[in-house]
């Protein structure tokens, strides 16, 4: 195959030069009466004009508490309208919103509060088994910069919004006029698989453009209604979802505080959503509902699947049974705002399941030799690197770690093993650190997973390498069965793979599970599976 594994996205439309707040203002002026935000659980709705007024109220309320441009405001909450208001309100005043995973416990919360220097924290009251107020009280003494905590659904939230009355609108406008699109607006902590996470610092330019181009690639207009069961605390929700919607005048629909398959399909039906987001496991859960066929999903035309590869059979059902003929696969990482590669609306099934798409406009990607950094020929595996407007400003207060991830040429090194095809589409064949080396043979888990998805007894599967005395590593298949009462056996797997898969790739161990450990972004924590079953 000729040519090098390098490509860049060209487009006649230039990048947006707005701040997030200025872009929202343009949307409000263009579509004041159209719905901007719907919260299905509470029944609350905002038109663009109402949403803009609510955002400004929260922004002025934050100014009244003493928040200034560059201050870090933490948001530690489940999906709710207030989360979205805080996202746009902090951007309006040049504050830097810090996303905090709702699942964090005390030591993780304390780390983020201190590392980012958060002065005001906005939090839910509770989530699942977590009492947020108690956890904040537990760590407050170790976080000297934290001076105020506001709880959503509590009198402290009402006090925050009431404080807006003391700040004239003109003050807000003056601050907005002094902001640059290159200012930092968001810190997202990467779901570190070892040690503490790093705070990827993103600018208005990073995330506004990425949301805009992701939405443009799937044809968003003001007619679209986007159902978001994915978490706002990750780029999938707040960039590809919220900013993807508002930069095109579309409507954000919140189906539930956290993912519930029934609530998601009910929201699509009730709100006549045209687009639905999710990681593959979410779509699998929705399709596997006993009453799936009872939901009217005919309003759907598109959506985004990301986070991990989509099994072919799942994609077929999403297109045929969920009416998502134009569904798109996205690939990215927090550090790149997040999306670099995306399939197009008219791509065939093979491109939507065998690849993660091609480069987005105004972005470059290449595949290099991980050791030398030299660009590989097309059709050969190497590390995927990406460059462009989307690459983060850096890890918050960690210049050394930034330099390790972003090289002198401003290329972000993803750590993913990829192959660029002749047509520019990219296949992700695994993480560099996930590759299994068995007796000198390189094994890519994705290839085996894709094959095993075809087994009638397997609903979901993850393949990892675990230590082996003779071969160095052996292949372990972690399986979620279709029917827990009738899981596949090792003999079933062997006979299924026989004559179809090279002998050294056939799993030699099998583990039946109810669920997989996940990162905040919906990726399976393979490192945890390896550690859990390393001992045999």
Which CATH number goes with the domain that contains 59?
A: 3.40.50.12780
Counting the structural domains of the chain, the total is: 2
Does the structure show a pLDDT above 90 at 433? no
Statement to judge: residues 320 and 463 lie in one domain: no
Backbone angles phi, psi at 202, to 5 degrees: -120, 145
Find the DSSP H helices in 375-507.
Answer: 399-405, 445-452, 490-497
What pLDDT was estimated at residue 502?
A: 81
Which residue carries 């639905």 as its tokens?
Answer: 276
Statement to judge: residues 48 and 195 lie in one domain: yes
Within a domain: residue 430? Answer: no
Q: For residue 167, give both structure tokens.
A: 């700040």
Q: What would you report as the CA-atom Rg of the chain, rounded to the nearest whole angstrom?
A: 23
What pLDDT was estimated at residue 128?
A: 84
Q: What is the CATH number of the domain that holds 483?
A: 3.30.300.30
What pLDDT was estimated at residue 194?
A: 47
What pLDDT was estimated at residue 190?
A: 85
Domain boundary among the residues 327, 353, 379 is at 353
- Domain range for 254 is 9-353
Whose CA is closest to 446, among 470, 468, 426?
426
What pLDDT was estimated at residue 103?
A: 85
Mean pLDDT, residues 513-525: 84
Within a domain: residue 385? Answer: no
What pLDDT was estimated at residue 85?
A: 98
The C-alpha atoms of residue 383 and residue 368 are separated, in whole angstroms, by 5
The C-alpha atoms of residue 31 and residue 51 are separated, in whole angstroms, by 11
343 pLDDT band, cuts 50/70/90, is very high
Query: Considering the chain, what is the average pLDDT of its residues?
Result: 94
What pLDDT was estimated at residue 193?
A: 45
Within a domain: residue 393? Answer: no
User: Angle at the Cα of 29 (from 25 to 32), degrees rounded to 5?
Assistant: 110
Statement to judge: residues 112 and 252 lie in one domain: yes
Mean pLDDT, residues 88-92: 98
pLDDT in tens, 182-235: 999 999 998 654 467 899 999 999 999 999 999 999 999 999 999 999 999 999
What pLDDT was estimated at residue 496?
A: 96
What pLDDT was estimated at residue 287?
A: 96
Does the structure show a pLDDT above 60 at 1? no
Name residues whose C-beta falls within 8 Å of residue 375's C-beta, 6 or more positions apart in sequence. Answer: 4, 5, 6, 366, 367, 368
Mean pLDDT, residues 119-125: 98
Within a domain: residue 69? Answer: yes
Using the CB atoms, write b or e for 194-222: b if 16+ within 10 Å: eeebbbbbbbbbbbbbbbbbbbbbbbbeb
Q: Is 33 left (phi over 0), alpha (psi -120 to 50) or beta?
A: alpha
Within a domain: residue 387? Answer: no
Q: Is 530 left (phi over 0), alpha (psi -120 to 50) or beta?
A: alpha
What pLDDT was estimated at residue 307?
A: 82
pLDDT in tens, 456-482: 999 999 999 999 988 889 999 999 999
DSSP string, 419-434: EE-TTS-EEEEEETTT
Does the structure show a pLDDT above 80 at 159? yes
Partner residues linked to 46 by β-bridges? 37
Mean pLDDT, residues 430-453: 84
What pLDDT was estimated at residue 2?
A: 64
Find the helix or strand (DSSP H, E) in which 517 lies.
Answer: none
Does the structure show a pLDDT above 80 at 440? no
Within a domain: residue 509? Answer: yes
Mean pLDDT, residues 394-399: 97
pTM: 0.87
Domain boundary among the residues 301, 319, 353 is at 353
pLDDT in tens, 34-76: 999 999 999 999 999 999 999 999 999 999 999 999 999 999 9
Within a domain: residue 496? Answer: yes
pLDDT, greater one: 279 or 244: 244
DSSP string, 122-176: EE-SEETTEEHHHHHHHHGGG-TT--EEEETTSHHHHHHHHGGGGS-HHHHHHHH
Domain boundary among the residues 353, 382, 402 is at 353
Within a domain: residue 402? Answer: no
Q: Which of 42-56, 385-399, 436-450, 469-483 has the lowest mean pLDDT?
A: 436-450
Mean pLDDT, residues 411-418: 95
Dihedral angle at the C-alpha atoms of 33, 39, 44, 50, nearest 10 degrees?
A: -30
Segment of 434-438, 439-443, 511-515 carrying the highest mean pLDDT:
511-515
Statement to judge: residues 237 and 349 lie in one domain: yes
């Amino acid at each position: 195959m000729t040519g090098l594994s390098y490509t860049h996205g060209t487009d006649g439309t230039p990048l947006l030069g707005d701040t997030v707040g200025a872009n929202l203002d343009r949307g409000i002026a263009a579509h004041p009466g159209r719905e901007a935000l719907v919260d299905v659980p509470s029944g609350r709705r905002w038109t663009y004009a109402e949403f803009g007024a609510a955002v400004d109220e929260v922004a002025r309320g934050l100014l009244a508490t003493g928040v200034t441009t560059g201050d870090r405001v933490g948001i530690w909450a489940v999906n709710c309208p207030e989360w979205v208001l805080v996202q746009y309100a902090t951007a309006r005043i040049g504050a830097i919103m810090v996303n905090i995973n709702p699942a964090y416990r005390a030591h993780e919360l304390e780390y983020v509060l201190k590392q980012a220097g958060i002065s005001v924290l906005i939090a839910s009251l509770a989530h699942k088994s977590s009492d947020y107020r108690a956890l904040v009280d537990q760590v407050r003494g170790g976080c000297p910069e934290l001076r105020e905590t506001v709880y959503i659904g509590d009198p402290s939230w009402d006090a925050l919004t009431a404080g807006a009355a003391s700040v004239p609108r003109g003050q807000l406008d003056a601050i907005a006029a002094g902001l640059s699109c290159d200012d930092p607006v968001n810190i997202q902590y990467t779901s570190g698989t070892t040690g503490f996470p790093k705070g990827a610092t993103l600018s208005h330019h990073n995330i506004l453009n990425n949301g805009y181009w992701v939405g443009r690639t799937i044809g968003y207009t003001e007619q679209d209604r986007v159902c978001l069961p994915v978490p706002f605390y990750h780029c999938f929700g707040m960039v590809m979802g919220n900013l993807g919607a508002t930069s095109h005048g579309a409507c954000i629909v919140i189906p539930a505080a956290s993912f519930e398959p029934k609530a998601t399909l009910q929201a699509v039906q009730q709100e006549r959503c045209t687009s639905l987001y999710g990681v593959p496991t979410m779509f699998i859960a929705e399709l596997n509902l006993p009453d799936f066929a009872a939901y009217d999903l005919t309003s759907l035309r598109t959506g985004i699947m990301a986070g991990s590869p989509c099994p072919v059979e799942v994609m077929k059902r999403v297109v045929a049974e969920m009416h998502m003929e134009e569904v798109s696969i996205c690939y990215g990482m927090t550090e790149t705002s997040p999306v670099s590669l995306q399939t197009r609306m008219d791509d065939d099934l093979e491109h939507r399941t065998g690849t993660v798409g091609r480069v987005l406009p105004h972005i470059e990607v290449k595949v290099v030799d991980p050791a030398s950094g030299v660009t590989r020929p097309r059709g050969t595996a190497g590390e995927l690197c990406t460059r462009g407007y989307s690459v983060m400003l850096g890890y918050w207060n960690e210049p050394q770690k930034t330099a390790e991830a972003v090289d002198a040429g401003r290329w972000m090194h993803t750590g993913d093993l990829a192959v660029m095809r002749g047509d520019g589409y990219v296949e992700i064949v695994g993480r560099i650190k996930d590759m299994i080396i068995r007796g000198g043979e390189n094994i890519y888990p994705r290839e085996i997973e894709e094959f095993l998805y075809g087994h009638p007894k397997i609903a979901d599967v993850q393949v990892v390498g675990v230590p082996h005395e003779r071969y160095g590593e052996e292949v372990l298949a972690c399986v979620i069965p279709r029917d827990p009462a009738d899981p596949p056996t090792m003999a079933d797997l062997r006979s299924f793979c026989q004559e179809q898969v090279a002998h050294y790739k056939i799993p030699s161990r099998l583990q039946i599970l109810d669920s997989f450990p996940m990162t905040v972004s919906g990726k399976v924590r393979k490192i945890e599976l390896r550690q859990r079953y390393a001992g045999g």
